[in-house]
Amino acid sequence: MHELSMANSMVEAILDTAKKNDAISVTEAVLEVGELTMLNPEQLRFMMDVLIKDTIMEDADIIINMIPIEIECEKCGFKGISETDENMDHLMAVATCPKCDSTRVHVIQGQECNIKTIKIEREDENA
Ligand SMILES: [Zn+2]
């Protein structure tokens, strides 16, 4: 499943970063997910909640920021926010130009799936 593999790699990356920084716990993780990834933020959050059980990020607040799709149309030159069709097959996400419906668009943002920031606690801070 799309969300599960993404949730898994996100959690692994967060835990990896936390370990490298000698964290004893992760208190917050802010994620950026582009709408073009077609990830469902609720499903993503749910799966991450399951995956973080019994890890140092068990009690972390997971904040998922959805990034709108911004495109530049190669046909009419429109530059701005586009939207994907919600009824579209989720594995076939395509950005289209809202002005001329062309799919020959350059995607400026909306494809990302990043960990933006994490907040951790170190042992010495907790003493
Ligand atoms: Zn256009």
Q: Domains in the chain, ordered, with CATH?
A: 2-122 (3.30.2320.80)
What value does the mean pLDDT take over residues 33-37? 91
Is 86 a residue whose pLDDT tops 70? no
Report the C-alpha gap between 18 and 9 in whole angstroms.
14
Q: Which residue has the higher pLDDT, 87 or 96?
A: 96
Q: Is the pLDDT of residue 30 over 70?
A: yes
pLDDT over 60 at 95, yes or no: yes
> Does the pLDDT at position 90 exceed 90?
no
Q: What is the pLDDT of residue 100?
A: 95
Alpha carbon of 96 to ligand 1 centroid (Å): 8
Cβ proximity of 83 and 69 under 8 Å = yes
Residue 111 alpha carbon to ligand 1 centre in Å: 19
| CA 71 to ligand 1 center in whole angstroms | 9
- H helices present in the chain, as ranges: 2-20, 41-51
Give the span between the Cα atoms of 88 and 124, in whole angstroms: 50
Q: How far is it, in rounded angstroms, from Cα 2 to Cα 47?
A: 11
Neighbours of ion ligand 1 (CB under 5 A): 73, 75-76, 78, 97, 99-100, 102
Query: In angstroms, what is the span from residue 79 Cα to ligand 1's centroid?
Result: 8
pLDDT at 83: 76
User: How confident is the model over 52-81, as pLDDT tens digits?
Assistant: 999 999 999 999 999 999 999 999 999 999
106 CA to centre of ligand 1 in angstroms: 10
Give me the pLDDT at residue 127, please.
53
Burial (CB < 10 A; 0-12, 13-18, 19+), residue 121, is middle
